Amino acid sequence: MSEQFFKGFVLGISGILVQASVPVSVPALGAQEPLVDVGSDVGTEAGAEAEAGEEEAEDEPPALTGRVTRDDVERAVPEWVQAEIEAEVETADALRLAHVDPGAEVTVFLGTWCSDSKRELTHLWRAFDEAGGLVSFEIDYIGVDRDKEQPEELIEGSGLAYVPTFIVRRDGEEVGRIVEEAPDGIVHDLAALLTGEASGVVSARDDLEPVSPNPEP
């Protein structure tokens, strides 16, 4: 072996040993960046929120809009039927509804998604059943969306702010309205408006201004 070759061999081995002795910095496990699956929301905060939103939407009652009937509402939100069965009404008030002077018109703005609408309407419908299902006034139900903006053509001019709202008219003129919650019960307070014992805004709320009469939408 020549002297020149021997020196080259030694230098090569030394270089390998020097490289092997250089410390290598390896990040601790706790310092690693979290893995993100860019192809799916599963496991991310956004994905969790999306899934929660979907579950919440599935649990929310449907929002029927436009002119509806009692049957329409009961089919869309069957839990209202059970609420009707459980509702307690005064028989005397129910009978008053059946014997008011004819000619009145009642427009009801309701939300099938609204707990206040569910409470007031199911009590009213239970009273109708108690009275034999016949009344001497016309009643029109209008379902609205959660923003109370649709159906625009039926809401316009009504002064609607809260649901449910029951507007009582005679000869095209507004006698009064019940807004959101009837202070003495929907059956009693509606009978009072229909018989002329009450007028104006009737509500458990104390922040409402009088509403000027409007023609029926």
Torsional class of 137: left (φ above 0), alpha (ψ -120 to 50), beta (otherwise): beta
- Retrieve residue 216's tokens: 């029926």
What pLDDT, on the 0 to 100 scale, is given for residue 43? 43
8 A C-beta contact, residue 165 and residue 174 = no
Cis amide bond preceding 164, omega within 30: yes
66-to-121, 180, 217 alpha-carbon distances in Å: 17, 19, 12
Pick the more confident residue, 183 or 36.
183
What pLDDT, on the 0 to 100 scale, is given for residue 138? 96
What pLDDT, on the 0 to 100 scale, is given for residue 48? 47
pLDDT-based confidence at residue 10 (cuts at 50, 70, 90): very low
pLDDT-based confidence at residue 59 (cuts at 50, 70, 90): confident
The mean per-residue pLDDT over the stretch 46-64 comes to 62
State the Cα–Cα distance between residues 211 and 169, nearest whole angstrom. 13
Quote helix, strand, coil % in the chain, to nearest 5.
40, 15, 45
- Chain segment 90-140, per-residue pLDDT in tens: 989 999 998 999 999 999 999 999 999 999 999 999 999 999 988 999 999
pTM metric for this prediction:
0.71
State the Cα–Cα distance between residues 144 and 162, nearest whole angstrom. 10
Pick the more confident residue, 40 or 22.
22
State the Cα–Cα distance between residues 94 and 129, nearest whole angstrom. 9
What pLDDT, on the 0 to 100 scale, is given for residue 1? 53
Over 80: is that where the pLDDT of 33 sits? no
Over 90: is that where the pLDDT of 49 sits? no
State the Cα–Cα distance between residues 63 and 71, nearest whole angstrom. 15
What pLDDT, on the 0 to 100 scale, is given for residue 210? 62
State the Cα–Cα distance between residues 105 and 190, nearest whole angstrom. 12
What pLDDT, on the 0 to 100 scale, is given for residue 146? 97
Helix (H, G, I), strand (E, B) or coil at 203: coil
State the Cα–Cα distance between residues 125 and 181, nearest whole angstrom. 15
State the Cα–Cα distance between residues 125 and 118, nearest whole angstrom. 10
**Residue given tokens 């007028």 in the structure block:** 199
- Phi, psi torsion values for 2, nearest 5 degrees: -75, 160
Closest of 127, 132, 139, 134 to residue 92, by C-alpha: 127
State the Cα–Cα distance between residues 182 and 190, nearest whole angstrom. 8
The mean per-residue pLDDT over the stretch 82-91 comes to 94
